[in-house]
Amino acid sequence: MAKISERGILMPASPIRKLVPYAEDAKKRGIKVYHLNIGQPDIKTPDEAFDALRNFKIKTAEYSHSAGNESYRRGLAGYYGSVGINVTYQDILVTTGGSEAIIFAMLATMNPGDEVIIPEPFYTNYNGFAVQAGVTIVPVTSSIESGFALPPISEFEKKITPKTKAVLVCNPNNPTGYLYSKSELQQLRDLVLKHDLFLFADEVYREFCYDGHEHFSVLNLDGLDNHAVLFDSVSKRYSECGTRIGALVSRNKDVIGTALKYAQARLSPPLLGQIAAEGSLKVGREYFDEVYNEYINRRNFVIQALNKIEGVFAPMPKGAFYTILQLPVEDAEDFCVWLLRDFNYKGETVMLAPAAGFYSTPGLGKNEARIAYVLNVEELSRAVVVLEEALKAYKTR
């Protein structure tokens, strides 16, 4: 019998989505499921995106340039300029979501067997991207006690080998909500310059920084023009997950030129997605202010409510719309499955993402789960009540 590839066998299933069949079964039984497991905002997509699509008059849906429409890349460069990041449209490659940007960057800068150091817990799909590129992820563990701050640089130094080619951070962080400071990023800059590495930064949650904390981009670190590679997306900024438009941004011409070869092989990024994304560049400050205020309210409510539950600890996120919570259970995945398969409170239950899937080191995150506070406060309030009742029932089952 013909066999599938070793790469295919190694390709991990998403731990964020692996419990979906249990959720679907629960819904078929008439149970309402509060989805806190996935970063799909319920925030309204701006009218400008849909207006751009409605007003786009064409007779043929043609391929765009492999690097993306020039008008969109120029507009995107303008957006970056407005947030203090000075790049030209030629430094930008439009991708099919931020995911493709990460894959292209790995393929453009790393050979099979090379290593990328990533603070853990990290966005689980980095594992899949690394498998596709034949790259090995080397984790450096951060701690819930510190709110998942950047581990000491000495811990990164210990992990560097001749195979190390890059360090990757997500800032603000998914899944922890931690926002790396300028000082922490400068430490990483010194590290990558010392060892001649790339510094990859997933900055898709740039707009979501709280409590007066400001985002600092790796593209604004001195001396990193040939080392810094930024990944971006409109998915969360404009609540446009389904448009599948991202960007790979770097002043390193060799990185962009090499990534373009992979972009040419997939022909072009989505045409209609680019139209919507370009239209979104017209969105005014009031949209972001409204979204920002909504997330602040959600964050403040849910973190306070979670920490009132006996045995639960959730650090206060500085950015994005996620937090990792510590649960009074030995096996969070078993608890998360039980929530969907066996439990409901007044016809309702909650879906969480077991945090072990966000760690690379075996055994870590066993009693942790990630939540995405992407529901309105009323639904979050109900979800917390259900979670508290579930923990009581799980303990005495």
Burial of 394 (0-12, 13-18, 19+ CB in 10 A): middle
Specify the pLDDT at position 54. Answer: 96
Q: Which domains are present in the chain?
A: 6-44+286-396 (3.90.1150.10), 47-280 (3.40.640.10)
Tens of pLDDT, residues 334-386: 999 999 999 999 999 999 999 999 999 999 999 999 999 999 999 999 999 99
Strand partners, 140: 119
Among 329, 333, 301, which residue's Cα sits nearest to residue 317? 301
Task: Report, as ranges of residue numbers, the positions in the chain whose pLDDT lies below 70.
Answer: none
The Cα 190–Cα 196 span in angstroms is 10
Query: Angle 253-265/97-109 helices, nearest 10 degrees?
Result: 120
Find the helix packing angle between 377-396 and 285-307, rounded to 10°: 20
CA distance 382 to 106: 42
Environment class of residue 40 by beta-carbon count within 10 Å: exposed (0-12), middle (13-18) or buried (19+)?
middle
Give dist(CA 265, CA 85) in Å, integer: 29
What's the pLDDT at 166? 98
Quick one: residue 133, left, alpha or beta (phi over 0 = left, psi -120 to 50 = alpha)? alpha
Q: What is the pLDDT of residues 6-15, one digit of tens each?
A: 889 989 888 7
Report the pLDDT value the prediction gives residue 256, as an integer from 0 to 100. Answer: 98
55-90, pLDDT tens digit by residue?
999 899 999 999 999 999 999 999 999 999 999 999
pLDDT at residue 16, rounded to an integer: 73
- Using a 10 angstrom Cβ sphere, with 0-12 exposed, 13-18 middle and 19 or more buried, the burial of residue 163 is middle
Nearest to 250 by CA among 124, 95, 397: 95
Burial of 288 (0-12, 13-18, 19+ CB in 10 A): middle
What's the rounded Cα separation, in Å, for the pair 129 and 248?
A: 15
Closest by CA position to 119, among listed 197, 198, 50, 201: 201
Contact between 65 and 92 under an 8 Å Cβ cutoff? The reply is no
> How big is the chain, counted in residues?
397
Using CA atoms, how far apart are residues 223 and 239, in angstroms rounded to an integer? 33
